[in-house]
Amino acid sequence: MSTLPEQAVEYRTFYIGGEWVQPAGAGQITVTSPVNEEVVGITPDGVDADVDRAVVAARSAYDQQGGWASWTPEERGEVLERFAVEMDARAADSAVRTTMSNGMPFALSQQLEGGLPGAFVRYYVGLATAQQREEIRPGFLGGPALLRRYPIGVVAAIVPWNFPQALTFAKIAPLLAVGCTVVLKPSPETVLDAYTVAEAADAAGVPAGVINVVPGGRETGAYLVRHPGVDKVAFTGSTAAGRSIGEACGRLLRPVTLELGGKSAAIVLDDADLASNLEALFGACLINNGQTCWLNSRILAPRGRHDEVVELLASLASGATIGDPFDEATQVGPLVSARQRDRVEGYIAQGIEGGARVATGGGRPDGLDRGFYVEPTVFANVSPDAVIAREEIFGPVLSVIPYDGVDDAVRLANDSEYGLGGTVWTTDHEKGLAVARRIQTGAIGINQFFTDPSAPFGGVKSSGLGREMGVEALSTFQELQTVYLDPAGPVPEV
């Protein structure tokens, strides 16, 4: 069963300032199906003048007297509840658009891309409403001060194509709840689902200029990052782009959150019972066709269990149903683009040249001549110095690396430029926790990996700067002001 539309979805306008406006340029974004390589969508391509217009709209929605930023969290919550309802109503559409653009297995896109937007909005409305925005600091050396938290302003939100809706709402749900306004720049590969955000905002009556969407490529993104009307940048994407954005924001002294790449380790301890955890193992190592930032693509196995771990992973990878991501049985769909497939195949070739043994995969699956498919691939006996063990591949390619003793496993796990995710596999919960505590990473799971909105998510080292999600996300979209109170005056009630 394929749910690809018979005709390409076509948009001719942008959603800016609460209106569907004509684009300033004549360029187009063409979305290609990773399943059959045909065009599934066309939108205008944003240029600098579109960004200017969107930032002006977001600026005025933020700055205006009596506007979004000055509403109470309860008032914003009413509008955002309507927005969540409209996103829920479009959940199936968002999931279809995501899968038809990036090849994500449909069951996953229904759960995450369709299901999370409304849930994230409601979650952050609840947190923002409960947050204490003003407090009195009694003072240590002097008199009392009033501490205020206020929305940081206009946010540039830039997202990648791998989990486009979930990552968009990890940003816009908290920022809207605290009173910021946003210019969202989706990835050209997954621009169609971003239009559902604009349509839902419009239908929900989100005030004009609070949410603006400008599709475009990296130049458009780079222009948005440096725009003088932007107060904060929230970016998810590659480490290379993150470095360049971080440099630009550093020069501007502009707050920035960077959610970047990873090369996370799954540490299989001596006593691990992988056979009882196959679903969780698949989730940690192969989810979303391997196109997941926190993917556990380095599997650290005790030397004595190396061959057994390789065999189990190889059977998991070779037994996965590969095919049309809209087919319910599909566990691994195509990669997002020909470029991404070339990149992944390039890494597989480097792994083979470097002497690692291919335990399974390594090629393109039989019978899938159209579409950007790559077989899930497991390399055995990989040297920790090999390119495939060090660089982010962003595809279904796993490297099993043998280790000698727990200290060696911890050393190897931490011997990475990145630090985003990771797992420990063990039947001893205490030991699992003790090892998890020693890993330099933003998030790690024991016998599972999961990202829950209640817990902060983000990376250390080259995996990023700052955190998203959790109650902590609210403060990343807020500024602090201290008001030293008149010693002769009363202390206000807060």
Residues near ligand NAD, by CB under 6 A: 158-163, 167, 185, 187, 217-218, 221-222, 225, 236-238, 241, 244-245, 259-262, 293, 392, 394, 420, 459, 464
CB of 195 to ligand NAD, least distance (A): 15
Q: What single string gives the DSSP state of each residue in 177-226?
A: HHT-EEEEE--GGG-HHHHHHHHHHHHHTPPTTSEEE----HHHHHHHHH
- Residue with the CB atom nearest ligand NAD in the bound state: 221
Is 37 in the active site? Answer: no
Minimal distance in Å, beta carbon 430 to ligand NAD?
Answer: 29
Other Cβ atoms less than 10 A from the Cβ of 407: the count is 10
Catalytic residue among 113, 285, 293, 468: 293
For the bound state, the minimum distance from the C-beta of residue 225 to ligand NAD, rounded and expressed in Å, comes to: 5
Query: In angstroms, what is the minimal distance from the CB of 70 to ligand NAD?
Result: 30
Give exposure, 323-348, as e/b (b: 16+ Cβ within 10 Å): bbbbbeebbbbbbbbeebbeebbebb
CB of 218 to ligand NAD, least distance (A): 3
Query: Of the residues 86, 259, 392, 468, which is catalytic?
Result: 259
- For the CB of residue 484, give the shortest distance to ligand NAD in the complex, in Å: 39
For ligand NAD, give the closer residue by CB, 103 or 221. Answer: 221
308 vs 450: CA distance, rounded Å: 25
Of 360 and 476, the one with the shorter C-beta distance to ligand NAD is 476
Q: Is 259 annotated in the active site?
A: yes
Task: Report the relative pairing of strands 211-213 and 181-185 from DSSP bridges.
Answer: parallel
101 vs 377, beta carbon nearer ligand NAD: 101
Sign of CA dihedral 379, 383, 386, 392: positive
Q: C-alpha dihedral over 458, 460, 465, 466, to 10 degrees?
A: 50
Q: DSSP per residue over 231-266, as a string? A: -EEEEES-HHHHHHHHHHHHHHT--EEEE----EEE
Return the closest-CA partner of residue 24 out of 36, 16, 32.
16
Q: Between 25 and 217, whose beta carbon lies closer to ligand NAD?
A: 217
Which of 128/245 has CB closer to ligand NAD?
245
Burial of 456 (0-12, 13-18, 19+ CB in 10 A): middle
d(CA 187, CA 168): 11
Residues forming beta bridges with residue 212, ordered by sequence position: 183
Please identify, using beta-carbon distances, which residue of 34 and 261 lies nearer to ligand NAD.
261
* Residues designated as active site: 259, 293
